[in-house]
């Protein structure tokens, strides 16, 4: 009787231990499911936010274009673009493409400080692929993100270094645009209070860029002079492309070219603000409002913006070949080009 009672208690205790163990096992199995479920939900939320941002950009671009259509006769803009001389537009296309080649060389100057030695041909292919993604897929990862992926996945470049190089590249271009604006503002047909004092600020953007790179991007400081000169060349060539479009539109009064070019560079800054879809609408709005203040023909100003966008779009089209066959870009990458952490 006593033994039976002991055995019963032992069985009961063993049964309770088994129940507790089974309960713990079930909880442990459920935990990863809940964890990955939450991560999946977070991923879905991020995708949802991403799509909301894209939708907001599309709506804003559409709203701006609609507003422009209420302020100016669309037929006038279409007529001005239709009358544009094709030979000057073709020349603008060639000149703009040359500016992108120079921009690719500027970026490769920074790549070689990471250090990654990519041939100029491979870099040009990668750069043109980025142009295509930036222009036709502005709501996605974009061309810059794809460059970072390629460099990290195939050449083992740390993401931080790739982002630093691309950021320095973009920042140098923006710096020269601001510098050109400070120069052109002296010649536009608009009185700016204390405009003469702006002459003293012309070197300021480059000074700010130098100290910013020294503090934030010291790895690329050695390339400061080189990328600054490349940026002057890139923006200068693109300015020539804009002049060709003005010739194509029949803008005969060369005295107004300074005004148009001022708006051209100002619109480039506005388009770089990530609130519209690839800058669509922001450029045209800048030209529309700027033409009113500078007493320019609004239809020609907006036509200049649209034609320059079309030129840049046509120039980026060869990148579609590398988006379909990315291996044609990567075939030129060799083992000795990979990132060396010891450098």
The pLDDT of residue 13 is 44
User: Could you tell me if 58 and 128 lie in one domain?
Assistant: no
Residues 273 and 283 sit within 8 Å (Cβ to Cβ): no
Phi, psi for residue 284 in degrees, rounded to 5: -65, -40
On whether residue 223 sits in a domain, the answer given is yes
Q: State yes or no: pLDDT of 9 exceeds 80.
A: no
Distance between CA 250 and CA 62 in Å, rounded?
29
On whether residue 233 sits in a domain, the answer given is yes
On whether residue 343 sits in a domain, the answer given is no
User: Could you tell me if 245 and 301 lie in one domain?
Assistant: yes
Q: State yes or no: pLDDT of 218 exceeds 60.
A: yes
Domain boundary among 51, 71, 91: 71
**Per-residue pLDDT band at 16 (split at 50, 70, 90):** very low
What are the angstrom distances between the C-alpha of 204 and each of 63, 277, 308, 325? 36, 31, 29, 44
User: Could you tell me if 37 and 125 lie in one domain?
Assistant: no
On whether residue 204 sits in a domain, the answer given is yes
User: Could you tell me if 331 and 227 lie in one domain?
Assistant: yes
Comparing C-alpha atoms, which of 313, 322, 336, 341 is closest to residue 150?
A: 322
On whether residue 284 sits in a domain, the answer given is yes
**Per-residue pLDDT band at 95 (split at 50, 70, 90):** very high
Instruction: Output DSSP code: residue 141.
Output: S
Q: Quote the percentage of the chain above a pLDDT of 70.
A: 79
Stronger pLDDT, 190 or 343, i.e. the higher one = 190
Q: State yes or no: pLDDT of 71 exceeds 60.
A: yes
**Per-residue pLDDT band at 226 (split at 50, 70, 90):** very high
Domain boundary among 23, 56, 71: 71
DSSP for 177-192, written as a single string: HHHHHHHHTTTSSS--
Q: Rounded mean pLDDT of the chain?
A: 82
Distance between CA 190 and CA 327 in Å, rounded?
52
Task: Tell me the mean pLDDT in the region 42-46.
Answer: 60
Q: Write out the residue range of the structural domain in which residue 262 sits.
A: 77-337
DSSP for 221-248, written as a single string: GGGHHHHHHHHHHHHHHHHHHHHHHHHH
Domain boundary among 71, 93, 117: 71
Q: State yes or no: pLDDT of 234 exceeds 90.
A: yes
Residues 60 and 276 sit within 8 Å (Cβ to Cβ): yes
Interhelix angle 204-216/224-249, rounded to 10 degrees, is: 140
On whether residue 153 sits in a domain, the answer given is yes
Take residue 192 and report the two structure tokens written for it. 């700016």
Provide the 3-class DSSP secondary structure of residue 120.
Answer: helix
User: Could you tell me if 253 and 191 lie in one domain?
Assistant: yes
């Amino acid at each position: 009787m006593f033994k039976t009672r002991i055995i019963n208690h032992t069985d009961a205790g063993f049964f309770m231990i088994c129940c507790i163990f089974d309960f713990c096992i079930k909880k442990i199995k459920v935990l990863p499911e809940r964890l990955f479920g939450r991560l999946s939900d977070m991923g879905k939320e991020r995708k949802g936010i991403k799509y909301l941002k894209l939708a907001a950009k599309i709506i804003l671009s559409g709203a701006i274009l609609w507003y422009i259509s209420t302020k100016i006769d669309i037929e006038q803009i279409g007529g001005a673009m239709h009358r544009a001389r094709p030979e000057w537009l073709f020349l603008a296309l060639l000149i703009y493409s040359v500016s992108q080649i120079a921009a690719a060389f500027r970026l490769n100057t920074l790549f070689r400080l990471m250090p990654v030695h990519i041939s100029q041909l491979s870099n040009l292919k990668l750069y043109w692929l980025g142009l295509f993604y930036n222009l036709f897929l502005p709501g996605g990862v974009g061309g810059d993100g794809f460059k970072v992926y390629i460099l990290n996945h195939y050449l083992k470049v740390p993401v931080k270094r790739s982002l630093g190089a691309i950021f320095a590249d973009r920042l140098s271009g923006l710096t020269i645009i601001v510098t050109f604006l400070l120069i052109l503002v002296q010649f536009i047909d608009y009185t700016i209070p204390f405009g003469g004092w702006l002459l003293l600020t012309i070197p300021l953007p480059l000074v700010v860029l130098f100290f910013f790179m020294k503090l934030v991007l010291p790895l690329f400081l050695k390339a400061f002079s080189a990328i600054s000169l490349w940026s002057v060349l890139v923006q200068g060539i693109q300015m020539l492309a804009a002049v060709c479009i003005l010739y194509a539109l029949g803008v005969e009064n060369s005295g107004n070219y300074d005004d148009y070019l001022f708006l051209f560079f100002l619109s480039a800054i506005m388009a770089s603000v990530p609130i519209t879809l690839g800058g669509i609408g922001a450029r045209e709005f800048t030209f529309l409002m700027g033409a009113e203040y500078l007493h320019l023909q609004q239809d020609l100003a907006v036509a200049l913006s649209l034609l320059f966008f079309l030129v840049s779009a046509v120039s980026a089209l060869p990148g579609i070949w590398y988006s379909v066959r990315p291996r044609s870009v990567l075939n030129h990458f060799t083992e000795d080009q990979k990132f060396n952490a010891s450098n």
